[in-house]
Amino acid sequence: MTIIEFLTPWEFSPALVVFVVGLGAFYYLGMCATDNANKTAKYYWQATGFYIGLASIYLVSHSYLDYLSQYMFWVHRFQHLVLHHFAPLLIILGGVEIIRKSLPRWLVNWPALPAVIRLPFELPYRLIQHPVIAPVVFVGLIYLWLIPDIHFAAMLSQKLYYLMNWSMLIDGLLFWWLILGPDWKGEEQGFSVRIIMMLVVVVPQQLLGAYLTLSSSVIYDVYDVCGRAWPISPMADQIYGGIVTWIPASMMSVLGLVLVLRRRLNHQKRMENEIS
């Protein structure tokens, strides 16, 4: 298989293309609007991370990997690791503030719009971004789509399959925005809440990954019905998928915890420098 064949969409998704190209274009316009004085080494590292995150979304959702994820459980778990953890984390860390520089004026002036326009959007957003709700949804979606009957239906229905993947991506962006978005600079307010949130999401992922890895029976028979892309035993496929759910996903959450601590320490150093 050539690189072109590998990157060719297995099932073309106009919505995904618009999302990736649109978000990448907005970021580029924001980069063009950034003063040269602010384009430090950190700036270019952020830009690189952002586009790596964006490219990884395309790779797992719109290339041959998307085909493999429908016929191999462990590839499916890798796909969701990227959509829910890796890509959103890189995109948020990549400097979402840069995108704000290319947003339409009406969106920049959103707080000034009449309440009748804002509230239908703000109320659901505030609910899902509540510090108690957000980690429950973050972990709950992983569990939801791995319920055997729901997982079976999602892998056989194109609409449910797309809904599953989009829900993981959107929730990942929302969650990591809440944890590491530019609205929180590292102040004391919100620090302990973010630490608790990160600790809360680690344990359930570890338990789920351990259950999938150590289970003595095959849980997801949909891959037997559809046939696996590679000659691999059902138990081996499930074990590999469990390990992906167990270790890398937990490590990403631990990384988020470290980044929260780092931002807090950086904020304290800035405050000390200002005082001195």
Of the given ranges (47-61, 100-114, 122-136, 195-209), which has the lowest mean pLDDT? 100-114
Supply the pLDDT for residue 152: 95
Supply the pLDDT for residue 171: 97
C-alpha Rg value of the chain to the nearest Å: 20
> Who has greater pLDDT, 275 or 245?
245
Looking at the structure of the chain, the number of domains it has is: 1
pLDDT greater than 80 at residue 97: no
Residue whose entry in the numeric block shows the structure tokens 């072109």: 4
- Amino acid (1-letter code) at residue 117: I
For 241, counting Cβ atoms within 10 Å of its Cβ (0-12 exposed, 13-18 middle, 19+ buried), the class is buried
Nearest to 101 by CA among 164, 26, 39, 7: 26
* Each residue's pLDDT tens digit, 111-125: 888 888 888 888 999
Q: Buried b / exposed e across 186-220, counting CB within 10 Å, b at 16+?
A: beeebbeebeebbebbbebbbebbeebbeeeeebb
State phi, psi for 66 to the nearest 5 degrees. -65, -40
**How much is the mean pLDDT over the chain?**
90
* Mean per-residue pLDDT, 144-150: 96
Which pLDDT band holds residue 109 (cuts at 50, 70, 90)? confident
The pTM for the full model equals 0.92
Largest Cα separation within the chain, whole Å, is 68
- Percent of the chain at pLDDT exceeding 70: 99
- Amino acid (1-letter code) at residue 45: W
Supply the pLDDT for residue 106: 76
**Domain containing residue 88:** 3-275
* Mean per-residue pLDDT, 210-214: 95
Q: Is 137 helix (H, G, I), strand (E, B) or coil?
A: helix
pLDDT greater than 90 at residue 95: no
Give the Cα separation of 270 and 276 in Å (integer). Answer: 10
Give the Cα separation of 114 and 189 in Å (integer). Answer: 29
Q: Which two tokens stand for residue 150?
A: 């729901």
* Each residue's pLDDT tens digit, 166-185: 999 999 999 999 999 888 88
DSSP secondary structure letter of residue 27? H
- Amino acid (1-letter code) at residue 103: L
Supply the pLDDT for residue 182: 82
State phi, psi for 84 to the nearest 5 degrees. -100, -25
Give the Cα separation of 142 and 212 in Å (integer). Answer: 13
pLDDT greater than 80 at residue 156: yes
* Each residue's pLDDT tens digit, 214-228: 999 999 989 988 888
